[in-house]
Chains A and B, each alone.
Chain A
Amino acid sequence: AQSVAQPEDQVNVAEGNPLTVKCTYSVSGNPYLFWYVQYPNRGLQFLLKYITGDNLVKGSYGFEAEFNKSQTSFHLKKPSALVSDSALYFCAVRDQTGANNLFFGTGTRLTVIP
């Protein structure tokens, strides 16, 4: 069975500091991994995805994520947080069968403190 865990419901970081939002996954076979961001009263916006290749994936708004197969993790990172990064972040996974279901984590609320 496929699943995603986001171990932190809430992450607080000071503006200008680096941020990390954690995600671990479980799939049979190789994973396809995604990060989405949700601002208040809005839909989910795609940030980045890992399919294959370089373990460090760069995405929108200066975000990047590092795929670590041995630790089954796909943590989202940004070198310098902005107040405008405050939002709800979702990690999601699919497996190679191409099954339609995109399995989401429960979300992590990021608050960047001015």
Chain B
Amino acid sequence: GNSVTQMEGPVTLSEEAFLTINCTYTATGYPSLFWYVQYPGEGLQLLLKATKADDKGSNKGFEATYRKETTSFHLEKGSVQVSDSAVYFCALIDSGGSNYKLTFGKGTLLTVNP
């Protein structure tokens, strides 16, 4: 079956620090990969996505590259801000057939201090 393993938190950084949240996956087909973000008291928002190997998703200074050889999709940002404090979820959809169900990692809580 499909699964997503992401770096356990919580992660605490100072403003302007470099961020990496690791994510690896297992899938039976050719998955599309996602990072979702959940700000306090809100639902999830799509942060970025990649649909095939070597694609790089990017948004709001965050980046992640689809690495098929290492089955990874690590999230990075060069300089975090206090407003980036949130829970980050790595997820996949196994794009074979008519499956549209997301498989999520357990989430990583990021706190950025001023």
Query: Is A bound to B?
Result: no
